[in-house]
Amino acid sequence: MRIRMSAATLVTAAVAGSLTALAAVPAHAAEYDSALKVRGVQYDAPGRDSNNCSTGNTDEEYLTVKNYSSSKTVNLKGYVVKDAAGNRFAFTANHYLQPGDYVKLRGGNGSDSDAGNVVYRDNCNFMWNNDKDTIYLYKPTGSRADVHSYTKSGSDADNNGYITFHR
Q: DSSP characters for 37-91?
A: EEEEEE-S-SSS----TTT--GGG-EEEEEE--SS--EE-TT-EEEETT--EEE-
Lowest mean pLDDT among 15-19, 85-89, 116-120, 130-134: 15-19
pTM over cut 0.85: no
Q: What is the mean pLDDT of residues 137-145?
A: 96
pLDDT band at 21 (very low <50, low <70, confident <90, very high): very low
